Structure 1
Amino acid sequence: MSARKGKNEKDGATLVIRREEGAEHGHHGGAWKVAYADFVTAMMAFFLLMWLLNATTEEQKLGIAQYFAPVNVFGSDNSGSGKPFGGTDIVSDNSAVGRAGTPTVPQVERSYPPDEDRPDEGEPHQAIFAEGGAFQNRFDTGGRFVAPRTAGAGGEDATEGVFEPERELAARAAAEAEALEQAAETIRAAVTEDPALAGLARQLAIDVTPEGLRLQLLDAEGLSMFALGSSQPNEAARALIAKIAPVITRLGKPITIAGHTDATPFRSGSGVTNWELSADRANAARRLLVDAGVPEARIHGVSGRADRDLLLPADPRAAANRRIAILVQRAAAPPATPAMN
C-alpha cells in the first residue's frame, strides 16, 4: 500500500483522476428522437397517400375531392334543419359506412369539374330558358335549331309547335319556287303585251329549274340576237334584256350568265373560236343588264360554253343553239325527291 501511495505522490503532489459517466459514448441528448419520429410519421403518411391513390377508383377520388371542397356549412342554403350539413354527417344515415362499419367513399356520378363548364366538341348543346327545364332549345351537331319543347299537362312533352329544319327548308323552297314562277309569268306577260316585243316572245324561253329561274334568249332562222360571228347585240336583244331586267332585279338573287354557240366552226387561221365568241356575247349581255339597272354586285359569274351544251343536240348547227342563258339562282335548295324502289 505504501509503495503505491508513494508512486502517486511523487515529488509531494497528489494526482486526482476524474471520470465522467457516459462520456466515452458521445451522448448529445434526446432531441434527435423527436426529429426522427416526425420523419417516420411523414414517411408513413406519404406511403399511405401513395397507396390510397393506387387503390381508389376515379369516382372515389372525386368523392374525396368534393368532400374536402370548401363549403359554407352555416349558410342558410346548406343547413335545412338549422345545423351544419343540414343536421347530418357522412355516417348519420349510413350512406358512407361500409359493411364493417368503417367510413367508405360515397359513389358519385357527376364529373369534376362539371360538364357544363367544358362542353365537349361535337355534342348537341342545350340552352335552358326556364327553371326546371320547362323550355329547352335543342341544337344538333351542326348548330342548327332542332326542336323547342314545352312541358305539357302531367309533365309530358307537348309536340305542338315543334320546329323541324327539314320542314322549314321545304317551306322556304316552296315559297321561293312560287316567287320564281310569279316572276316568270310577269316576264311572259310583259313581253307578250308589248306590241314591239310580241313577235320576239317565242325567242325567249323561261323555265324554273332546280338551280333557279332560267331565261334564254334564242336565235331563230333569220332572227338573231347578235350579228353573225359578232358579239354586238342587235335591237331585239337590247329590248328583251331591258324588259326582263326590272323583274330579276326585284328578286334580289345572284345572277350568272352563260353564252352558247352552235357547232359551226370559224375559218381556220382566223384566230377566233366559238369559245371567245360565246364568252364575249355573255359579257355583252352582262353590260346590257347593268345598263338596265341590275346591280353589278348581283352578277356572280359570266362564262362562255361554246358548243359544249347544245340546246338541240340532234341538230348541232340549229339557230336555237346560239343563245344567252341568264340564271337567277335559288337561295334555298329544293327538298330532295325520294328515290323510287
Structure 2
Amino acid sequence: MSKGGDKRPIVIRRKKVVHAHHGGAWKIALADFMTALMAFFLVLWLLSVSSEETRRGVAEYFSTPLISAITGGDRSGSTSAIPGGGPDPTHSDGERAMIDSLQRSRPSSQDRRFFMNVQERIERAIERDPELRQLRSQMRFDLTREGLRIQLLDTDQRPMFELGSDQVAPYMRSLLRTIAPLLNELPNELSISGHTDSVPYAGGYSGYSNWELSNDRANASRRELIAGGFDPGQLLRVSGFADRVMLPETEPTDPINRRIELVVLLPEIAEAIRNPAIMGPGASLPDDAAEALIELPQQDEPQAQDPE
C-alpha cells in the first residue's frame, strides 16, 4: 500500500475546439455571381443601344431550336444527334442526304449579310419619305429558304388596294415605285405573289373569285414596280394564292392576310424554278408516296359496232 506522498496528480487534458472559418469558397461563389450579373447588365445595355435589325436577328437566333437550325426547320425522321446515312458508304441516300440537301438550300452567312443590307437600304429609303414612313408597320422582312421576303400587309384603316379590286391605293403605288430602283440594282431575280383573306365573292369560286383577285393584284404590283424602274427581265414568277396560304396565328378573315409578297430569290432557287427536276423513266417513287397513289380502275375499251 503506497503512502499519501507517493500519489501522482491526475492530469485531465481537455481538447480545446476552435471554430475555424469556412475558407474562401464563398468568395469564389460571390465573384462568379457578380461576374454573371455584370455580363447580364452588359447584354441589356448592348440590346438597348442596338438597332431594330440587330435585335431581331438575336431574337431569331435564340428562338430557333438547334435541330431546326440544322435541318432548316423541317426535319422528319429520327431525333438522333448523329444522323444516319443511306445504304451506301457515300450517304447519297437516307437521313444524312436529306439533311445535307436541306443545308444546301438554306441561305449562307454571306447571303444573310447581303439580304440584311438590302433590307436596311429599303428601310432607309422609306424612312426618308414622311408618307411612306407610316407604312413601315405594314411591312415585314424575313429570310426564307427562297430568299428575302418582303410582305406588304393590308389593314382596314389603310388598305393597299381598293376593296374587292386590283386598283392600287396611292400610297401603295408610291411604296412599290420607291422599292423598284433598289430591287433593280440587285442581280437576283424576283417573285411576286398575291394573297387574300377567306371572305368569298358573291359568286363563290364559279366566277371571279379570290383566285383571280390575288393574281390580278400581283400583276398590278408588277406593273407598278416596272413603272418605278424595275427591269422586267429580272422578274421570274407572278402568282396568286387566293386564301390558301394564311399567316400563322391569324384568323382566315383577318385583313392582314390580304398581302403582296415580294421575294428576292436565291440564285439556286431561281434556277430550280426555271429547271424543275424531272424523274426519269427508270426512277421509282418512295414507298410512302407510292402507297398514297390510288390505282384507277381501267375502263373497258368501247366495242366497235357494225354499221346498220
User: Contact (CA 8 Å) 1:311, 1:321: kept in 2 or not?
Assistant: yes
More helix by proportion, 1 or 2?
2
Q: 1:188 is matched with which residue?
A: 123
CA deviation digits over 1:24-79, x for unaligned, max 9?
A: xxxxxxxxxxxxxxxxxxxxxxxxxxxxxxxxxxxxxxxxxxxxxxxxxxxxxxxx
The CA deviation at 1:258 is 0.4
Paired residue secondary structure (1:196): helix
Q: 2:260 is matched with which residue?
A: 324
User: Contact (CA 8 Å) 2:192, 2:261: kept in 1 or not?
Assistant: yes
Pairing of 1:1-341 with structure 2 (within 5 A): 173-268=108-203, 271-312=207-248, 314-332=250-268
User: Contact (CA 8 Å) 2:142, 2:148: kept in 1 or not?
Assistant: yes
The CA deviation at 1:249 is 1.2
The CA deviation at 1:313 is 5.1
The CA deviation at 1:314 is 3.6
Please tell me whether Structure 1 or Structure 2 has the larger radius of gyration of its CA atoms. Answer: 1
Paired residue secondary structure (1:257): strand
CA deviation digits over 1:161-193, x for unaligned, max 9?
A: xxxxx9xx89x9322221111000111122123
User: Contact (CA 8 Å) 1:181, 1:208: kept in 2 or not?
Assistant: no
CA deviation digits over 1:109-160, x for unaligned, max 9?
A: xxxxxxxxxxxxxxxxxxxxxxxxxxxxxxxxxxxxxxxxxxxxxxxxxxxx
User: Contact (CA 8 Å) 2:203, 2:209: kept in 1 or not?
Assistant: no
Instruction: Considering Cα pairs closer than 8 Å and 6+ residues apart, tell me whether 1 or 2 has the greater RCO.
Output: 2
Q: Higher mean Cα deviation, 268-277 or 231-240?
A: 268-277
User: d(CA) in 2 for partners of 1:208 and 1:313?
Assistant: 19
Distance verdict in 2 for CA 1:291–1:276, change over 3 Å? same
Q: What amino acid sits opposite 2:199 in the alignment?
A: T
Q: 1:32 is matched with which residue?
A: none
Q: What amino acid sits opposite 1:300 in the alignment?
A: L
User: d(CA) in 2 for partners of 1:332 and 1:300?
Assistant: 13
CA deviation digits over 1:243-269, x for unaligned, max 9?
A: 111111111211111000000000037
User: d(CA) in 1 for partners of 2:251 and 2:211?
Assistant: 19
User: d(CA) in 2 for partners of 1:279 and 1:241?
Assistant: 17
The CA deviation at 1:206 is 1.5
User: Contact (CA 8 Å) 2:190, 2:262: kept in 1 or not?
Assistant: yes
User: d(CA) in 2 for partners of 1:329 and 1:251?
Assistant: 10
User: d(CA) in 1 for partners of 2:111 and 2:141?
Assistant: 16
Q: What amino acid sits opposite 1:241 in the alignment?
A: L
User: d(CA) in 2 for partners of 1:324 and 1:247?
Assistant: 17
User: d(CA) in 2 for partners of 1:314 and 1:197?
Assistant: 25
User: d(CA) in 1 for partners of 2:181 and 2:212?
Assistant: 29
TM-score by length of 2: 0.50
User: d(CA) in 2 for partners of 1:314 and 1:186?
Assistant: 29
Identity %: 40
User: d(CA) in 2 for partners of 1:188 and 1:229?
Assistant: 29
The CA deviation at 1:291 is 1.1
Paired residue secondary structure (2:111): helix
The CA deviation at 1:208 is 2.0
User: Contact (CA 8 Å) 2:131, 2:171: kept in 1 or not?
Assistant: no
User: d(CA) in 2 for partners of 1:248 and 1:281?
Assistant: 19
TM-score by length of 1: 0.46
User: d(CA) in 1 for partners of 2:148 and 2:202?
Assistant: 36
Q: 1:112 is matched with which residue?
A: none
User: d(CA) in 1 for partners of 2:185 and 2:174?
Assistant: 18
User: Contact (CA 8 Å) 1:260, 1:309: kept in 2 or not?
Assistant: yes
User: d(CA) in 1 for partners of 2:127 and 2:230?
Assistant: 22
User: d(CA) in 1 for partners of 2:181 and 2:145?
Assistant: 22
Q: What amino acid sits opposite 2:146 in the alignment?
A: E
